[in-house]
Amino acid sequence: MKVEIKRTFKGVEYTVGKLYIDGAYFCDTLEDTVRPNGQKIAGKTAIPAGTYRVKKTMSPRFKTVLPEILNVPNFTGVRIHSGNTAKDTDGCLLLGLNKAKGQVLCSKNTMAFFMDRTPNEFDLIIE
């Protein structure tokens, strides 16, 4: 299975992208701001582009199993989860439908469908 995010808008407050599973569009994504390499503001910076291993593990914060993005340089505890605005990201990836400026909607349903559709471990490519 190939899971890929193509960032389509890199703004001052947030980043929007499209998530594809095996080449087919699945949903939109919302992240914090993409910053130059080496520059990080805790909870307000998107993870660097690259290929990452993802494993579904128990989230201490959310008290449920969520995809954890592993071995992200200078980041810990990065998850894929539901939420609606950049304030909900805290450095993580939100899934949903980008039907409103700076937001993803239908996030909980999209996240549930993503959890059902993906295996317990997979690679994530972020461009």
The answer to whether 93 and 5 have CB atoms below 8 angstroms apart is yes
What value does the mean pLDDT of the chain take?
95
Q: Rounded CA gap, 62 and 23, in Å?
A: 30
Stated pTM of the model:
0.95
pLDDT (0 to 100) of residue 101: 95
Count other C-beta atoms under 10 Å from residue 1's C-beta: 10
The pLDDT confidence band at residue 37, using thresholds 50, 70 and 90, is confident
Question: What is the identity of the amino acid at 96?
Answer: G
The pLDDT confidence band at residue 41, using thresholds 50, 70 and 90, is confident
Q: Rounded CA gap, 3 and 103, in Å?
A: 21
The 10s digit of each residue's pLDDT in 44-78 is: 999 999 999 999 999 999 999 999 999 998 899 99
pLDDT (0 to 100) of residue 43: 87
Q: 6, 9, 22: which is closest to 102 by C-alpha?
A: 9
For the cut 80, the answer to whether the pLDDT of residue 38 exceeds it is no
pLDDT (0 to 100) of residue 53: 98
Q: What is the mean pLDDT of the segment spanning 13-19? A: 97
SS percent in the chain: helix, strand, coil, step 5? 10, 50, 40
Domain boundaries, the chain: 2-126
Lowest mean pLDDT among 33-37, 90-94, 104-108: 33-37
- Give the residue ranges of DSSP H helices in the chain: 107-117
What is the C-alpha radius of gyration for the chain, rounded to an integer number of angstroms? 13
The answer to whether 95 and 103 have CB atoms below 8 angstroms apart is no
